A = this chain, B = another copy of it.
Amino acid sequence: MTAATRPTTVPPTGGFVLPAPIPRDLPAVDRVAEAFRRIAAADRPEVWITLRGEIDVRADAAAVDARVAGGESLPLAGLLVAVKDNIDVAGLPTTAGCPEFAHTPGVTATSVRRLQDAGAVVMGKTNLDQFATGLVGTRSPYGAVRCAWDPELVSGGSSAGSGAAVGLGLVDLALGTDTAGSGRVPAAFHGIVGLKASLGLVSTAGVLPACADYDAVTVFAADLPTARAALGVMIGPDPADPRSRTWPADVVLGVPPVPVLAVPRTEDLAALTDDYRDAFDRTVARVRETGCTVVELDVSTMLDAARLLYDGAIVAERYSAVGAFLDGAPAGADPVVAGIIGRSRDVSGPAFADDLDTLAVARAAAHTVLAGVDGLLLPTTTEHPSIAAVQADPLAINRRMGTYTNFANLLDMAAMAVPGAPTRTGAPFGVMVVVPAFADQVALDLAALVTGDDPGPAVPTGGLELAVFG
C-alpha cells in the first residue's frame, strides 16, 4: 500500500483538543475521585489490565496529602500515574499483556518508586502490545487499545494503555517502555508528550526486558513541563540496574542562543502519508519562526540501521527474554507477537555478531552525522492507521510506523516526542527531537521550542547539578 492509497486519518470534529487536565490545585484524594469518575465515563476498559481499587488509591493519595500538609515539598504531589504492565508495582500482577505470564512482584520498579517518592500516586497497570512487541496497541488478549479521540484508530503501542490514559485525561502521567518507539508512537497519536531519555539514565530495574540492551523506560504527559518534571525525578544511577549510566562530566547542558536543528532530506520523508508530510513541513516552518537555524541532513544511516531491530538478528534478545515461556504455547499468547519472537529462536549467534558489528559502524556514522547540529527533528511516525487496517495487515503497517523511531536506542540516542502542527484535517501529529546519548537536556530545550513551552527547570540528575542555558 503506498502512501497515496492509505486511508486518510479521521480528524476529531472541530480539530483535536486534549481533555482538560484534572485540576492540579485539588487535594490528591479529590484528584483520585475525579480520575475514577473519568475512567467510568470514558468506558475504555481495554486501557487497563489492572485498575487498582479506588479505596486503595485514595489511601495512597491521602498519605501524599499528609506529606504535603506536613511540609514536604513533593515535585509530583498528587499526580496520578498509570504504569505499563511490563513494569513492576509491588502487590499488583505484572502480565506484560499475557495472562499466563502473570506474577505479582514484591518490589516496585525503581522508576515507579522514584515517582511515588516524589508524590505521584499509582492508579493501575496499563495494556500493551504483548511483551512490548509492537507499535500498534492491538496485539493483546486484553483487547486492542482504541485511540482516545477516535475509537476506530489504533492508540499506538506498545505502551498503548499508557498513551490512551493520558490522551483520555484519566491520569497526569503514564509510564511506558521504549525499545523501537513504544514510548513515542502513542504520544504522536494522542497529541501528547513522550520522553525517551538516553539508555541507562532511567533505571530499568523491575522492568521485563524486550531487548535488554535497548530498552528505556519512558514517560507520557499532556504537556512538556509535566513530563519533564517526572523524567527529572526518575533519572539517576541505580545499583539494581546493571545498565545504569550516569551523566558524563562534560554533559551539554542546553542549546546555544541560535540552535541548529536538522531535518531530513525530502527522500528520507517518503514513508509519510501526504497528511503527515504536510504537517511535518508546517511544524518545521513553525520551528524556523522561533529563530532556529534549520538545515537538511541525510539521515539514511539512521533509517537503514532501524531495520536491524526486527529484520536482523538482534530480535534474538526478545527470545532470550520470553522465548522459552512462549515455547510453551500459552493460550493467551498473541499470535503476531508469538510469531515474531518464535522466529527469533532460529537466529544464529554469528548472525547476531554480524549485526552487532554493523550496528557499531552505524552508531559511529550516525553520531558523526549529528556532530554538526544541536538536534534532529523527525516525524514520530508515518501514518495513523485504523485498528481494522492493522488487524488485516499486522506486520507491514507496524514496520512502516517504526521508520523514524526504531533506530534511537540501537544507535544510543535520546528522543523526545512532542506534538507538532496538527494535520490539515485537525488530527494530532507528532515529532521527535533526536540527539546523541546524554544530550537529553539539549533535546528537551529544543522540544520546548517546538511546543512553545518554557524550557522549565533543568532535569534533576541525581549526582550532577545541571543548569539549562538558552
Contacts and interface: CB of A to CB of B under 8 A. Distances in A.
Interface of A: 209, 212-213, 239, 241-244, 248-250, 313, 316-317, 319-320, 323, 344-354, 356-357, 360-361, 363-365, 368
19 contacts: A212-B357, A213-B356, A213-B357, A241-B364, A242-B365, A248-B249, A248-B250, A316-B348, A316-B349, A319-B353, A320-B350, A323-B350, A345-B348, A345-B350, A346-B348, A347-B349, A348-B348, A352-B352, A352-B353
A345 B360 CA distance: 21
- The A interface is mostly helix, strand or loop, or mixed, namely helix
Contacts of A368: 239
A349 B211 CA distance: 13
A354 to B, nearest CB: 5
A341 to B, nearest CB: 10
What is the total number of copies of this protein in its complex? 2
Contacts of A354: 320
Given A349-B349, A349-B352, 13 more contacts: A212-B357, A213-B356, A239-B364, A242-B360, A242-B361, A248-B248, A316-B349, A319-B350, A323-B350, A344-B349, A344-B350, A346-B348, A348-B349
A348 B350 contact: no
A320 B242 contact: no
Contacts of A316: 348-350, 352-353
A213 B313 contact: no
Q: Which of A316, A323, A349, A361 has the most CB of B within 10 A?
A: A349
A351 B320 CA distance: 7
A209 B361 CA distance: 14
A99 to B, nearest CB: 24
A33 to B, nearest CB: 43
B347 A347 contact: no
A346 B320 CA distance: 16
Nearest first, the 6 A-B pairs at minimum CB distance are A347-B349, A316-B349, A242-B364, A320-B353, A249-B250, A249-B249
A243 to B, nearest CB: 6
A346 to B, nearest CB: 8
Nearest to A244: B364
A243 B358 CA distance: 11
A283 B361 CA distance: 42
A356 to B, nearest CB: 6
Contacts of A320: 350, 353-354, 357
A320 B351 CA distance: 7
A402 B361 CA distance: 29
Contacts of A323: 350
Nearest to A315: B349
B363 A242 contact: yes
A90 to B, nearest CB: 22
Nearest to A368: B239
- Most-contacted residue by chain B among A239, A348, A357 (CB, 10 A): A348
A348 B317 CA distance: 11
Contacts of A244: 364
Contacts of A250: 248-249
Most buried by B among A249, A313, A323, A356: A356
Nearest to A353: B320
A287 B349 CA distance: 44
Contacts of A345: 348, 350
Contacts of A363: 242
A49 B360 CA distance: 31
A302 to B, nearest CB: 15
A349 B320 CA distance: 9
A322 to B, nearest CB: 11
A209 B347 CA distance: 22
Given A248-B248, A354-B320, A357-B212, A349 B242 contact: no
A352 B248 CA distance: 29
A243 B360 contact: yes
Contacts of A317: 353, 356
A461 to B, nearest CB: 14
Contacts of A239: 364, 368
A313 B360 contact: no
B348 A213 contact: no
A408 to B, nearest CB: 18
A354 B213 CA distance: 11
B212 A313 contact: no
